[in-house]
Structure 1
Amino acid sequence: MNLTAAAIARPVATSLLMLGVVLAGVSAFFLLPTAPVPNIDFPVISVSASMPGASPETMAASVATPLEKKLGQIAGVTEMTSSSSLGSTRISLQFDLDRNIDGAQRDIQAAIAAARADLPAALRNNPTFRTSNPSEVPVAIIALFSERMSSGQLYEIAANVLQQKFAQLDGVGQVTVGGSSLPAVRVELNPPALFEHGVSLEDVRAALASANYNSPKGAIEVGDGRLTLYANDQSRRAADYQSLVIAYRNGATVRLHDIAEVVDSVEDLRNFGMSNGRTAVQVQIFRQPGANFVNVLDRIKGLMPPLAAALPADVEMRLVQDRTLTIRTSLHEIGLTLIVTVFLAIFIVYLSLKNARATIAPSVCVPVSLIGAFGAMYLLDYSINNLSLMALTIATGFIVDDAIVVVENVMRRIEAGQPARAAALEGAREVVPTLVSMSLSLLAVFLPILFMGGIVGRLMREFAMTLSVAILVSLILSVTATPMLCSRVLQDHAGPPRFFLLRWSESAFTALHRSYVRTLDIALRFPRVTLGVLLATMALNFYLFDCVPKGFFPIQDSGRMRGAIVADQSVSFPVMKEKLEQFVAILTSDPGISSATASIGGGFSPGGAINVAELLVTLKPLAERKVSADAIIARLRPKLARISGASMFLQSAQDIRMGGRPSNAMFQYTLLADRLEDLRLYAPRIVEILRRSGALLDVSSDQQDKGLRSDVLIDRAKAARLGLTASAIDNTLYDAFGQRQVSTIFEPLNQYHVVMESAPRFRDTLAALDNLYIGANPRAASRIFSARDLGSPSSAVNMATQPMVPFSSFSNFAEGVTPLQVNHQGHFAAITISFNLGPGKSLRDAAETIKEAMAKAGAPATLQGVFAGTAAGYQEALANQPIMIAAALAAVYIVLGILYESFLHPLTILSTLPSAGVGAFLALLGCGAELSIIAMIGVLLLIGVVKKNAIILVDFALEATRRGLSSREAIREACVARFRPILITTLVALFGALPLALGTGEGAEMRRPLGIAIVGGLLVSQVLTLYTTPVVFLYIDTLRSRIGAGAFRWSGFRRRPARETEAHAPL
């Protein structure tokens, strides 16, 4: 007994099995995580090293280069970039998608250990690493406000409490705190007072270091007890340092308050943060690679209420960025689209079959197939995301097709007078080969995708598997549940339709059918013209494929924007702070922006230059702001351009982002050279040409080599006669200007520092170096300086106790320029150009524009350029597009050849595809959409949709030839008899994709290219293939006749045995 007969004979068992599928799917639905897109996070590990006070060039040469040599040897590294700035180096390593992140961490730890011997001794701590991508937008931003507490106190709360608690949550990869720095005791020195007392900066540093100590003291055994020893050897507040004895000079005590002002402040004064115009400390939370976006955010929001209750009453904690709102809204929109698609499909079936009872089977099988797919998604560890829901939306059309083929054939038998039960059994049995052919050939389209690597394969795999599972469930239901329902609900004799809409649709179909028959006869009368149209369509495909703009992934409107403010490289911190406040005021005044969070300094980018500020903007819901994120950026550009001395770059934050280097715009192009001088010479020229081109917007580069510097040119001979070493000179400069951490204060929750440098009134002046003195060797100084020198104010030397000599006595000062940042990619010096696309421009246009700009700039051959980050992903996707189409065609041909046992029949079926391609490409061009990964999925789906119509025609025609009809008569009869099911299946697929193409709301920009490609392809193919397919069938039959009887057997036109013929009875 076959499946169909068993299902009809046991309706209760069949119904319960369907109920089991539904229950499994519903249970899985509530267990499935939600996400904006499939999990395609590239394993990215960020390595950081800190050496306070070191210049960017020093960090690049002595820290970044040794680390890069070892890290670059790790297997699976696809991109290695580094950025060295003042006192800091950060190296980002992006691994292949298939690389195990735990194994990569072990390899990195071993590489750091191997490089430690080559790192400078001044690097006190080993480099650290984290599994987070610095270019990724945080999943959540929490801001702390207070009217009474200082920013340092807020930072302390964030670092000691919030950072630790949030970091412990499952799925959280990194938690950073910015907007200020930890509290510290700041010693602000007075250089003239130091000179008067004969105390050097190194004396002060040594005294501060020895005044604060924490070490074991032991214990005393007294009788039966034990006393642990403690001492007040730690000074914790500024007041504790005021009376610290620094030195004795001429019998007098020199205390710290005599030569400096000691205040309770913060470690780094050059940090600032704000949110919505208010000063704030910010906590940015990043997820681990692979962690579910929504689940992590739900855990964060669940932890916030108890943490807020434990904070001081004056502290306000607010979640200023919450991505789950737009994710859930987007999934809600696509969920509604799915429901609308199901109802549209069922309504089309109702209009086409003109029988409410006949609609019951599709109405049951479609939801069961879709719900059952959720169970498979759970087993495959997938998530509910835009792509998986789009797959189910598109699958609706295929599922309905399967049910229509069965129901329509059963109804035809009932109308011929056969009882419903027998009609259901025989009708389903007849169409099983057709159903299997349609389903397997459709699955074959996605077979190559399952073996593809990289981001394209990872993105499309979840879509393909979800769609494939739904189709397989539908195939099983079509040969079991659908016949069972037909046998139970269809009437043996149904009267004519009474509903006026049904009568109208029948009249419209009859008129359309007559017109088709007339035009079909014309096409068959002039086969060469029809074949010429087909050949022209094939040629047009290649032309349109070259014309349609190519893209990587549709630019999302995620409700978030990230931005950067880049000021003049010589800007001071107070001026930069003022610029930031001006930019934020413009942002918050825009009606489409909900909140804007910004920061300057090293809180989020360790060692970051003070001329760069980071911004993260949250938009209002799309229904409220009415315009896209790109439109908001466009209307903000003129307002932001009015602020002089700084530029602001905004981009819409994306869920799919490649590369580990943050940038000022969506796309990146990296220039590489052996010589840093070539990069510094030609990169500005290229950037300027690109800005004038008009094809690219927001063009900028990460080249920062125009920072001002002051060179201390040491006369080594004089310095040697004074007994001064280079290390002593460097230490004195560091003591005066480097915010040097000279001592550590140990507290129960954290460690704090004592920071020394010159007071601002002596530090922030052009005469700062002239007022600086250093302790010299007494004998050497007495030989060099005469009594006349001692009284000279221009070169005053205090030799009463310790010789204090001015820097001007052994050095000269000169101003110059210095890089604020040194970047590498791989092992080469690199400068990365960031840009957004101009209106109507594609990444292919950008590539051509950049190539022309490099030629105009006269860049030498040694200067190479490569796309980086997302733009590099685009190049990979562009190279894979023809391969995917060719592989899909090959897979379909092989499967069809196996099913039909023919080399020629698959060609007839595949001849329907060129018209679908033309329709898809024309629709994309007409709607201004790119041929992105999402649109490419639509093109591949068309291969499966369009060929189903050809399969129906070819199956019917082959059976007609076995009954003795000529090929011409057989194919004409097939076209006339199967016009209704072909029209129904096409309309169902068309209306299934139409809500995607016309969709609005959150996430519509991702769904629209898929719908546009399918709708355009179906419209054109439906018009052409109903004429070209029969003509191709005739030409192939002619070819078979000319090949002769020897090849007859191989062409698949051999006569089949009676039993085989029965299995392929007419539909």
Structure 2
Amino acid sequence: ESMRLVKSNLGLGAILAVIVLLLFLGSIRSVLIVAISIPVSLVAVFIVLKLMGRSINIISLAGMAFAVGMVVDNSIVVLENIYRHLTMRKGVMKAAYDGASEVWGAVLASTLTTLAVFVPIVFIEEEAGQMFKDIAITISASISLSLLVSITVIPTLTTLLIRLKPGEPYRPGILHQTLLRPVIVIGENIKNAYSGLLRKLIAKNFTSIVSKVGIVLGVVVLLWWSTRILPEPDYLPYGNTNMVFMMMEPVAGVPAKTNMRYFAPYEKKIVEMEDVARNFLVFSQRFNGGGAIIKPELAHGQRGEVKMAVKSQTMGREIFKIPGYRFAFAVQRPIFRSADKTFQVEITGPDMLKLKSVALQLIGDISSVPGVHSVRPEFKFGNPELRFIPRREQATRLDIGMNEIGTIVESLNAGKYLGEFNDQGEPIDFVFVQKKDKQKLSLQDYKDLPVWTGEGMMTHLGHLADIEISAGPARIDHIEKERAINLLVQVKKDVAMQLVIDEIEKRSLAPVRQTLSEEFGLRAGGSADELASTQKSLMNSFIYAVGFIYLLLVALFASFLRPIIVMLTVTFAVSGAFLGIVGNNWLQRGFIRSILEEWDVPNAQAMAEGWNWITFDILTQLGIIILAGIVVNNAILIIHQMLNNIRSGMDERTALEVSCETRLRPIMMTVISSVFGMIPLAFGEGAGTELYRGMGTALIGGLSVSAVFTLFLVPVLMSLMMDMGFHTTQADLVKDSLGTSPSSEDHPANMPAE
């Protein structure tokens, strides 16, 4: 079902992207030229996957679904520029060549910046890195192939499908002249409004300078506010399965048959539940628990996720009331073993009794932390044991060491192994003193056991050690040779793990740690370590990606300052991703609340308010890293075209204005087609969608917000540079391209180039 759904989302995304192209281009032939890049780029990805030994799975298909809207970006830029040259009556052959060659540098840089993001991701070695590789390979292969398509297939198809000789005027598509005429009118009004506002902003006067500074300050405030709503990070997506897993820990020493008798009444209730397809129970010395498998049709979509959450809570409350168990809880089973949102609290030290005391204190403290589902100890105290506590002074007086006392106890209970004798190939063990009868020794028998010293003196074992019956741990765990007790903390499904870890550290671990000596250790581990390690790898990948992109832009623009302006769009994309996550969660909470109220669930309002439909898991964080390589493309188009205009002889402010106006349409087309292609992934329902809806939401939010800021902030910052005295002239660009220093008489700044 997951494979079917991701395939349908891929197809739906492609259809939505084509519809967007049809609205903008208004010509079926033009849409066909661009749309051909989708199947050509995506089909070739299967060859790449085969060569690299990767499989076709939900993750790789999701990567292709994300790439649907992006593979048309290069083709849109090239085709739009070809059409711009067609309007100059150059003829189709000349327009195709000039249009493709003019934006070739920008398209190449845009593709390389996107690929630069995925190079560090491929080398992530953590568990989550295996999923990253499939997405990285599919998207990077799609984008690379789309570059080849845009500079080869698109110009060729243009010359085949559009017949215009030099001097013939280019006419809009038939749809733009008839059915889609209102779209053209709306687009012209938007363009005129944008041009008028832009002209005022980049002008060199006091009012425009104040406006520019105000815009920059407003952007800074927005960026600061977006950091305040930054969601706490989480590990792998929890997913939505149709199984409620029950975990029970019986009191030590209680037989399994007794535990089964305690649970039997509730087992009958589970069998009678109409929404349960089947169930199972396991009672043994090593594990006690079971599961209820809900009918698949009831666990489908958003209503299914709400259904499973309510079901697990209801069953958890019921089994908690069953007597005879140390703890009992029910939780929905995650799709990944590492995504069960369980981490460990590790308590280490030399004294087991002290560790037990600290553990019991922490269980109560941690259970009260918001977002904690349950806390269960991995240790069991209650196993009966016979404890021998040496009397060191008495033993020393009789010249008997601790090892000798231990040997006496071992010989009495298990016998002392001396060696073996080989009797014609049959090994025979020699054991010194071993009790053979089934009669148990009493406590007094141990105390009265005679012991002879090396000097021939007799004493009793009770004189050398205090012997008592006590309860001890069923097992003793060790962490790096230190005795340890682990507490397993289960986080609620819709709460970020990092948020709970930070809260437990502040409320529980830090105060208790101050009361312990240096011999004892107290920390969060397990999945908490995996989360921290993966976050560190993702952050390093983000830093490397930003560095690669900056160096590529320096090479493209031959400047260290202009790339900084382009890189600022990454910060807006990150802020937009946060806004997208918060906005989608707010929207979905309303739907979830209506479902809960429809089912008359108690505390529906409180339950819906704490529900995070989108969590900031590592796949969502990967989406933000991908944004770094995508959102810079729009700024690259603006600045690259501005430099081309200056090179052709325009004044730099005029060149900036014309560049923004001519790039408005392709930027809007690429952003809207990409966003529409990802909508099914961000808002779709069904099996597997919980894996990639966070990434889809982050990409949609980042692309949308970054596009708006790019269209205004980039020209504002470029004009501020001009106001501050950083100018770019035609002579500078010609000198950079030729590697010589031509005289100003040969290439005056304001004279059109030949």
TM-score in terms of structure 1 length: 0.56
Name which of 65, 71, 74 aligns with 1:402: 74
Q: Does residue 551 in structure 1 map to residue 234 in structure 2?
A: yes
Q: Does residue 673 in structure 1 map to residue 340 in structure 2?
A: no
Give the AA of the match of 1:901. A
Please give the residue correspondences for 1:721-760 in structure 2 after superposition, counting only pairs within 5 Å. 730=413
Give the AA of the match of 2:350. D
**Per-residue deviation, residues 274-332 of structure 1 (Å, max 9, x unmatched):** xxxxxxxxxxxxxxxxxxxxxxxxxxxxxxxxxxxxxxxxxxxxxxxxxxxxxxx2222
Please give the residue correspondences for 1:900-915 in structure 2 after superposition, counting only pairs within 5 Å. 900-915=557-572
Q: Which residue of structure 1 aligns with residue 374 of structure 2?
A: 698
Name which of 622, 635, 647 aligns with 1:950: 635
Name which of 1009, 1033, 1039 aligns with 2:694: 1009
Contact 1:649 1:665 in 2 (8 A): no
Distance 1:703 1:536 in 2: 55
Give the AA of the match of 1:523. L
Q: Which residue of structure 1 aligns with residue 183 of structure 2?
A: 505
Give the AA of the match of 1:1006. L
Name which of 436, 448, 456 aligns with 2:108: 436
**CA gap 1:538/1:464 in 2 versus in 1, 3 angstroms:** farther
Q: Which residue of structure 1 aligns with residue 459 of structure 2?
A: none
What's the secondary structure of 1:1041's corresponding residue? Answer: coil
Q: Which residue of structure 2 aligns with residue 621 of structure 1?
A: 296
Q: Which runs of 5+ in 2 are unaligned?
A: 165-169, 391-407, 416-435, 450-464, 586-611
Distance 1:1053 1:870 in 2: 57
Q: Which residue of structure 1 aligns with residue 145 of structure 2?
A: 473
| Displacement of 1:940 | 1.8
Count of residue pairs brought into register by the alignment: 648
Q: Does residue 641 in structure 1 map to residue 296 in structure 2?
A: no
Give the AA of the match of 1:641. F
Q: Which moved more, 1:933-942 or 1:839-848?
A: 839-848
Q: Which residue of structure 2 aligns with residue 566 of structure 1?
A: 249
Q: Which residue of structure 1 aligns with residue 89 of structure 2?
A: 417
Q: Which moved more, 1:1024-1033 or 1:639-648?
A: 639-648
Distance 1:387 1:527 in 2: 48
Q: Does residue 598 in structure 1 map to residue 278 in structure 2?
A: no
| Displacement of 1:390 | 2.2
Contact 2:684 2:693 in 1 (8 A): yes
| Displacement of 1:539 | 6.2
**Per-residue deviation, residues 427-478 of structure 1 (Å, max 9, x unmatched):** 3233222211111121122233234443354442332222111111111111
Distance 2:570 2:341 in 1: 38
| Displacement of 1:932 | 2.1
Distance 1:896 1:872 in 2: 36
Distance 2:56 2:142 in 1: 14
| Displacement of 1:708 | 4.1
Q: Which runs of 5+ in 1 are unaligned?
A: 1-328, 603-607, 715-724, 733-756, 778-810
Distance 2:409 2:354 in 1: 32
Distance 1:542 1:451 in 2: 32
| Displacement of 1:340 | 0.6
Distance 1:330 1:524 in 2: 51
Distance 2:410 2:715 in 1: 90
Please give the residue correspondences for 1:989-1000 in structure 2 after superposition, counting only pairs within 5 Å. 989-1000=674-685
**CA gap 1:561/1:825 in 2 versus in 1, 3 angstroms:** farther
What's the secondary structure of 2:69's corresponding residue? Answer: helix
Q: Which residue of structure 1 aligns with residue 59 of structure 2?
A: 387
Q: Does residue 530 in structure 1 map to residue 206 in structure 2?
A: no
Distance 2:697 2:63 in 1: 15
**CA gap 1:768/1:443 in 2 versus in 1, 3 angstroms:** same
Distance 1:900 1:855 in 2: 51
Contact 1:706 1:817 in 2 (8 A): yes
Contact 1:428 1:483 in 2 (8 A): yes
Contact 1:402 1:475 in 2 (8 A): yes
Q: Which residue of structure 2 aligns with residue 200 of structure 1?
A: none
| Displacement of 1:342 | 0.7
Contact 1:580 1:613 in 2 (8 A): no
What's the secondary structure of 2:70's corresponding residue? Answer: helix
What's the secondary structure of 1:848's corresponding residue? Answer: helix
**CA gap 1:999/1:679 in 2 versus in 1, 3 angstroms:** same
| Displacement of 1:532 | 4.6
Name which of 522, 525, 529 aligns with 1:865: 522
Q: Which residue of structure 1 aligns with residue 393 of structure 2?
A: none
| Displacement of 1:617 | 4.8
What's the secondary structure of 2:358's corresponding residue? Answer: helix
| Displacement of 1:688 | 0.8
Distance 1:528 1:451 in 2: 47
Q: Which residue of structure 2 aligns with residue 103 of structure 1?
A: none
**CA gap 1:965/1:1031 in 2 versus in 1, 3 angstroms:** same
Q: Which moved more, 1:531-540 or 1:625-634?
A: 531-540
Q: Does residue 896 in structure 1 map to residue 559 in structure 2?
A: no
Distance 2:734 2:378 in 1: 67
Q: Which residue of structure 2 aligns with residue 92 of structure 1?
A: none
Contact 2:535 2:618 in 1 (8 A): no
Distance 2:193 2:273 in 1: 57
Q: Does residue 849 in structure 1 map to residue 524 in structure 2?
A: no
**Per-residue deviation, residues 84-119 of structure 1 (Å, max 9, x unmatched):** xxxxxxxxxxxxxxxxxxxxxxxxxxxxxxxxxxxx
Please give the residue correspondences for 1:55-94 in structure 2 after superposition, counting only pairs within 5 Å. none
What's the secondary structure of 1:911's corresponding residue? Answer: helix
**CA gap 1:893/1:713 in 2 versus in 1, 3 angstroms:** closer
| Displacement of 1:1029 | 0.5
Q: Which moved more, 1:526-535 or 1:964-973?
A: 526-535
| Displacement of 1:341 | 0.7
What's the secondary structure of 1:417's corresponding residue? Answer: coil
Q: Which residue of structure 1 aligns with residue 194 of structure 2?
A: 516
Contact 1:694 1:838 in 2 (8 A): no
What's the secondary structure of 1:965's corresponding residue? Answer: coil
Name which of 326, 330, 338 aligns with 2:10: 338
**Per-residue deviation, residues 774-822 of structure 1 (Å, max 9, x unmatched):** 9xx9xxxxxxxxxxxxxxxxxxxxxxxxxxxxxxxxx999653121232
Distance 2:11 2:316 in 1: 40
**Per-residue deviation, residues 864-923 of structure 1 (Å, max 9, x unmatched):** 233333222111233344433322211100011112222122122212222212111122
**CA gap 1:671/1:444 in 2 versus in 1, 3 angstroms:** same
Q: Which residue of structure 2 aligns with residue 878 of structure 1?
A: 535
| Displacement of 1:656 | 4.1
What's the secondary structure of 2:134's corresponding residue? Answer: helix
Which is richer in helix? 2
Distance 2:272 2:219 in 1: 53
| Displacement of 1:1035 | 2.7
Q: Which residue of structure 1 aligns with residue 720 of structure 2?
A: 1035
Contact 2:117 2:625 in 1 (8 A): yes
| Displacement of 1:1036 | 3.2
**CA gap 1:574/1:486 in 2 versus in 1, 3 angstroms:** same
- Alpha-carbon RMSD across the aligned residues, in angstroms, is 3.9
Which is richer in strand? 1
Distance 1:582 1:381 in 2: 52
Q: Which moved more, 1:979-988 or 1:863-872?
A: 863-872
Please give the residue correspondences for 1:158-177 in structure 2 after superposition, counting only pairs within 5 Å. none
State the structure with more CA Rg: 1
Q: Which moved more, 1:511-520 or 1:891-900?
A: 511-520
Distance 1:677 1:773 in 2: 28
Q: Which moved more, 1:334-343 or 1:939-948?
A: 939-948
| Displacement of 1:389 | 1.8
Distance 2:213 2:58 in 1: 40
**CA gap 1:773/1:443 in 2 versus in 1, 3 angstroms:** same
**Per-residue deviation, residues 962-982 of structure 1 (Å, max 9, x unmatched):** 233222211111111221111
Q: Which residue of structure 2 aligns with residue 684 of structure 1?
A: 360
Contact 1:930 1:1009 in 2 (8 A): yes
| Displacement of 1:409 | 2.2
Distance 1:684 1:814 in 2: 24
| Displacement of 1:418 | 3.7
| Displacement of 1:863 | 3.1
Contact 2:494 2:615 in 1 (8 A): no
